[in-house]
Chain A
């Protein structure tokens, strides 16, 4: 039986984890919404963020510079990914683009292995992140607080950008109906590049928060983030930005509370139970929690 204080503590854990998943799911959904493609090389943007942070740390950069540099590298890498790998295949089938993204992910992982190392490399983070504050019976770590704060700020700013700016409105129009949006003057290349740039930005921010937790990077660092982002996006409704955020928080809460409440013998199956719950949701709402009922990408 979970006590009230333990429940409150687990709720804080769920919010902190959920905010990272929300950022990741949003980044993945951003590109899917515009192009109708799943970019499975998205996780490698997190890895690029981490290796950039490591590179800057090795050159004596303070943590804020490492973080900004890591995010910047993810944005540039995301734009380049679109230009080099996906733009030449514009208009190709969903499966072709999906396999292209697998190929990019595999290629980047092998480059990391050959050029850097297959071993985990430590990334130094400020000791401040290991402090905690007590609120009543709940102890909240500084890092989870920063994670939730940065996550919430990024989501609010992105919402404002998407609602108020001309580019944001163009992107929303493109995610509703790309063909019609182009007919009314939305420039395809610009919108797609912007979608990849924002996707990279979100991967970069989530990457900094992820590495601040793990303090280490290896070639496969991006695997868990892309997996969680994909599941969260599907829960929320692929391509639906609001749904991606909700899916991220839902998945964070699901993982934390299953771990907290499942009996010992079932615990090894926690991941399977989580996926079964996702399947049950999709059975009832095949389009996800916020997805549109009829979707046909052309």
Chain B
């Protein structure tokens, strides 16, 4: 009897926690909802990951998008329509993403923001089947638009652009040789080394060594020892490693006495990075979709000031400016087409040209990817310093 009471109490506790999680889940969706997009409401759907692995990216995209929508609605909306965001949590579950995408389409969504999570291709294919435009959200893989379908567009910097930007930067710094460290586990860490290598070799550089790392391993001492023993030592190391692995790698690299500069990509612009310490981070350089706020990038600084003035806090990361820019780019298309009809938006997307907070979004109609320059960030000790946008690379490897 006592045992069954305990089991009952345990099940009750589990039920309470699950119920709590479900209510939190519901709370993550946008405030005002409506049943239909008619009556002057333009519905934007976002089946994003707000509670799992990719919440790191989708949450700030949602924050930035909502901020833009609040601003636009406060100044009269678009062509007399009020914008509305429905952001639903897909928990990085492909089946859930598919279900939520259908739900949003049934509700009359006229634009979908792509999730960074695993369900992005399902979202894209459903959106395209319904002829509704969909973005890649914070997805930087250049192959995404092709895989998602003909209604998919990438409004942010692509991985082949950031690989090429870093290669050009390396050559300008006088680095002639590079050691490239990748991982075949995910497309991001598999393809970026290829893009960097192609651009670096095209510009006259030589890749003298390649190696593999395991994502989330918590130890890179074996790789570090191989790099430390490389003869001749490379001028630079390139790796698309991201936080929290970067901290481990850089600390072990510097502990091993290796002072070779390390170049990396946009997965490192995170508030947890500086805790690796100045000794490990000093000089570490990486590309990003946007720089952290600072005097060198007044638009982003102003975005942060305005956001804080409205919500009383900073956005959870600078990625929020990408969500913000996406909504304003959409507004510019609607105004240029003088229509909120999804087909008119799809017709206008190939020609979109919008100067956003994160830089110029200039769509390439043949690739359906914006020709958007990467930003460069360099660590000064343990502080982020913005090197600005070096411009669109002269050679960009094909996707």
Please indicate whether A and B come from the same complex rather than being unrelated chains: yes
Which A positions have Cβ atoms within 8 angstroms of B?
A: 3, 5-6, 9-10, 13, 16-17, 84-85, 87-89, 103, 107, 110-111, 113-114, 118-125, 127, 129-132, 139, 141-144, 210, 213-218, 220, 223-225, 255-257, 259-260, 264, 267-268, 270-271
A-B contact pairs, 17 of them (CB 8 A): A3-B229, A13-B221, A85-B10, A114-B24, A120-B243, A122-B272, A125-B277, A131-B255, A132-B256, A143-B255, A215-B272, A216-B244, A216-B275, A218-B244, A220-B53, A255-B222, A268-B183
- Max chain A Cβ within 10 angstroms of own Cβ: one of B9, B24, B183, B219: B219
* A120:B270 contact, CB within 8 angstroms: yes
Which A residues touch B251, using CB under 8 A?
129-130, 143, 213, 215
* A260:B225 contact, CB within 8 angstroms: yes
Q: Is B72 an interface residue (CB 8 A)?
A: no
Which B residues touch A220, using CB under 8 A?
53, 216
**Shortest Cβ distance from residue B224 to the other chain A in the assembled complex, whole angstroms:** 8
Which B residues touch A256, using CB under 8 A?
221-222
**Chain B 16-42 near chain A by CB (<8 Å), digits 1 or 0:** 010011001000000000000000000
**Chain B 196-232 near chain A by CB (<8 Å), digits 1 or 0:** 0000000000000011101011110111011011000
Q: Is B69 an interface residue (CB 8 A)?
A: no
Q: Is B126 an interface residue (CB 8 A)?
A: no
* B247:A139 contact, CB within 8 angstroms: no
User: B210 is contacted by which of A121, A122, A264, A270 (Cβ under 8 Å)?
Assistant: A264
**Chain B 254-268 near chain A by CB (<8 Å), digits 1 or 0:** 111100000000000
**Shortest Cβ distance from residue A192 to the other chain B in the assembled complex, whole angstroms:** 15
Q: Is B298 an interface residue (CB 8 A)?
A: no
New contact pairs (12) apart from A132-B255, A214-B248, A224-B217, CB-CB < 8 Å: A118-B56, A119-B272, A120-B244, A122-B273, A122-B275, A129-B251, A139-B228, A141-B256, A223-B216, A260-B222, A264-B210, A264-B211
Q: Is B172 an interface residue (CB 8 A)?
A: no
| CB contact list, B259-296 vs A, under 8 A | 270-280
Cα(A210)–Cα(B218), bound, Å: 7
* A215:B221 contact, CB within 8 angstroms: no
Q: Is B105 an interface residue (CB 8 A)?
A: no
* A141:B214 contact, CB within 8 angstroms: no
Cα(A7)–Cα(B392), bound, Å: 44
